[in-house]
Amino acid sequence: MRQQVQQGGPSSDSCSSTSDCFPLSRRSSAECGSETSAAAEKHEVRATNTPADLSKMSSIIVFYLLYLLCLCLGLACVVCVCVWSDQWRGGFAWDGSILEFNWHPVLMVTGLVVVYGVGAVVYRIPLTWGQNKLPWKLLHAALMLIALILSIVGLCAVFDYHNVNKISNVYSLHSWIGITAAAVFALQWVCGAAGFLLPWSPTTLRKLLKPVHVWLGGIILLLSIAACISGINEKLFFALKGNTTETKYSNLPPEAVLGNSLGVLIVAFGLVVLKILSNHEWQRPDSRPEGLAYTPLLQDDNE
């Protein structure tokens, strides 16, 4: 295991040649015993003394602040959409009634936005850079699978509700954008699993696939956000069309403020995730030899 960590992360030798790439992995490597204490001490001195290291350290601090913000915003989105559906819209059921529809916003926001966004930035966490990539690859795939399953169940909820109540499916712009996001996400997961996890996928294919995978990942999040905003907006117009202060959207009753705030939180969460994904300084560096840069699931990552 120690050997695995040494190969997965930069050793004391590799640190010296890739010092621009691994600002925090040094600490991880040292913690895992892959550095001598003298080498670790040398790095410690450099980290506190050179402007370049201070700049890297501040970049890492900004990352963790953004990551914390991302987690807080994601949690706030889930709490908001649950409270909205449970407290203002009557709760949940799976009986073809409007209570079955209530699963739709909860599962789409939780799956296609929050779990998806958190899963997308797993590789960006600097603490993981010095470690074996395989567990993080599996975590990324698992989070994305959870996100996909939640999204599919969320779609089933609205399709079932529509079918029971003789309402057409997939006619609104919201549904066109949403269904496209879910379909591209399903395709992305299958291609990602086949391309990055299965052992018979060639390295050249993985190299070609990676930028497409990253780019499609961003597109899916953009589509999800656009679908959520239009969906929440539509739902609030449907639900708040009464004439009293509490039931008219244009009077901005508490439910309208909650729904609008959910939309704002989703946009803020998406922007933070996209900011993390777009910063090249926070990309996991590939320190390993060319042929080992991508590790199939069924091969030992460091053999």
Residues that bind a copy of itself (CB under 8 A): 167-168, 171-174, 176-177, 215, 219, 222-223, 225-227, 229-230, 232-234, 236-237, 249-252, 256, 259-260, 263-264, 267, 270-271, 274-275, 278, 280
Instruction: Output the smallest distance, CB 225 to a copy of itself, in A.
Output: 6
Nearer CB in complex with a copy of itself: 96/218: 218
Q: Fill in the DSSP letter of residue 11.
A: -
Instruction: Output the smallest distance, CB 251 to a copy of itself, in A.
Output: 7
Instruction: Output the smallest distance, CB 274 to a copy of itself, in A.
Output: 8
Which amino acid is it at 186? A
Instruction: Output the smallest distance, CB 237 to a copy of itself, in A.
Output: 6
Nearer CB in complex with a copy of itself: 21/262: 262
Q: Please give the Cα distance from 129 to 59 (Å, whole number).
A: 15
- In 3-state terms, what secondary structure has residue 248? strand
Q: Fill in the DSSP letter of residue 121.
A: T
Q: Tokens at residue 211, please?
A: 């930028």
Nearer CB in complex with a copy of itself: 65/149: 65
Instruction: Output the smallest distance, CB 176 to a copy of itself, in A.
Output: 5
Nearer CB in complex with a copy of itself: 89/133: 89
Instruction: Output the smallest distance, CB 267 to a copy of itself, in A.
Output: 7
* Pure H helices in the chain: 2-8, 12-17, 25-31, 37-49, 51-83, 98-101, 103-107, 116-120, 133-164, 173-196, 203-239, 254-278
Q: Tokens at residue 236, please?
A: 């609030």
Instruction: Output the smallest distance, CB 297 to a copy of itself, in A.
Output: 30
Instruction: Output the smallest distance, CB 20 to a copy of itself, in A.
Output: 17
Sign of the C-alpha dihedral, residues 275, 276, 282, 283?
negative
**Residue carrying structure tokens 């799956």:** 111
CA nearest neighbour of 197 among 183, 213, 182, 220:
213
Nearer CB in complex with a copy of itself: 97/172: 172
Report CA-CA distances (Å) from 105 to 92, 236, 245. 11, 12, 24
Nearer CB in complex with a copy of itself: 142/173: 173
Q: Please give the Cα distance from 129 to 21 (Å, whole number).
A: 10
Nearer CB in complex with a copy of itself: 79/194: 79
Nearer CB in complex with a copy of itself: 30/220: 220
Task: Name 31's Cβ contacts closer than 8 Å, sequence gap at least 6.
Answer: none
